[in-house]
């Protein structure tokens, strides 16, 4: 478990701001309760924003996500893993390709796909086994778009729901990409360029002007 407790390049749990955030929000008498408190802190204190500059390594770094007070799924998963390690809980980052059936037409047109490769989640080692936690969508965003917020009890995997509050198809998991002690940024960026050529042809600035956060 040593590598899942150590500070890493992107899961930088030794960063003073990460240490302070973890200490401020962690609560409970055991690792499960402590992990739950950190999950909700990262889920709701850090705003979800998928419209970032993915060519910048800072979009994936836990301390940078914390400083910006926003992040996309990978950045928020990195932050939760870092906070858990800061609290002495083994943690790693995991990835899967997902199909979002509720992607807005504007976002789907810009990205050229409703497939999201390398969707990020956090894997926490609790009570002798790994448990998935997905802190991506903050509560306010879920309420706005009527998707079910992901709860986490430290016992069952917390992954995106297949249906939303109105029983529309929401998230479909298609492919597991594995788990890592640190975020494999080069690998993810290569996959993004292959999956979203339209986005990269438009250019990041042009793409950002096409949609707004939460679209």
If DSSP codes are grouped into helix, strand and coil, which group holds residue 193? helix
Question: Does the residue 215 lie in any domain?
Answer: no
Structure tokens at 37: 């408190």
- Which strands make up the sheet holding 91-100, listed edge to edge? 129-133, 115-126, 91-100, 171-180
Question: Does the residue 57 lie in any domain?
Answer: yes
The per-residue pLDDT for 106 is: 65
Instruction: Pick the closest to residue 113 from 195, 52, 194, 193 (CA basis).
Output: 195
Q: How far is CA 213 from CA 103, 107, 162, in A?
A: 12, 10, 22
* Residues of the chain below pLDDT 70: 102-111, 202-215
Question: Does the residue 50 lie in any domain?
Answer: yes
The whole domain housing 24 covers 2-210
User: What CATH number should be reported for the domain holding residue 152?
Assistant: 3.10.620
| Overall size of the chain counted in residues | 215
Structure tokens at 34: 């402590």
Instruction: Pick the closest to residue 177 from 204, 195, 163 (CA basis).
Output: 195
Question: Does the residue 104 lie in any domain?
Answer: yes
The per-residue pLDDT for 203 is: 58
Instruction: Pick the closest to residue 158 from 89, 77, 54 (CA basis).
Output: 77
- pLDDT, tens only, 8-40: 999 999 999 999 999 999 999 999 999 999 999
Cα Rg of the chain, angstroms: 16
Question: Does the residue 112 lie in any domain?
Answer: yes
Number of domains the chain is built from: 1
- pLDDT, tens only, 156-169: 999 988 788 888 88
The model's pTM: 0.91
Question: Does the residue 136 lie in any domain?
Answer: yes
Instruction: Pick the closest to residue 120 from 38, 178, 194, 186 (CA basis).
Output: 178
92, β-bridge pairs:
123
Q: Nearest-5° angle of CA 127, CA 81, CA 62?
A: 170
């Amino acid at each position: 478990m040593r590598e899942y407790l150590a500070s890493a390049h992107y899961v930088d749990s030794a960063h003073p701001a990460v240490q302070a955030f973890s200490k401020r929000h962690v609560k409970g008498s055991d690792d499960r309760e402590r992990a739950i408190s950190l999950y909700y802190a990262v889920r709701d204190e850090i705003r979800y924003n998928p419209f970032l500059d993915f060519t910048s390594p800072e979009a994936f770094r836990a301390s940078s996500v914390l400083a910006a007070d926003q992040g996309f799924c990978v950045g928020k998963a990195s932050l939760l893993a870092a906070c858990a390690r800061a609290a002495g809980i083994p943690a790693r980052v995991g990835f899967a390709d997902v199909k979002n059936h509720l992607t807005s037409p504007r976002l789907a047109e810009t990205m050229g796909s409703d497939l999201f490769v390398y969707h990020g989640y956090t894997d926490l080692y609790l009570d002798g086994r790994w448990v998935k936690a997905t802190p991506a969508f903050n509560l306010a965003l879920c309420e706005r778009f009527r998707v079910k917020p992901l709860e986490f009890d430290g016992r069952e995997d917390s992954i995106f729901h297949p249906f939303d509050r109105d029983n529309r198809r929401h998230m479909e998991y298609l492919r597991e990409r594995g788990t890592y002690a640190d975020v494999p940024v080069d690998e993810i960026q290569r996959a993004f360029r292959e999956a979203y050529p339209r986005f990269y042809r438009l250019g990041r600035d042009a793409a950002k002007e096409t949609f707004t956060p939460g679209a």
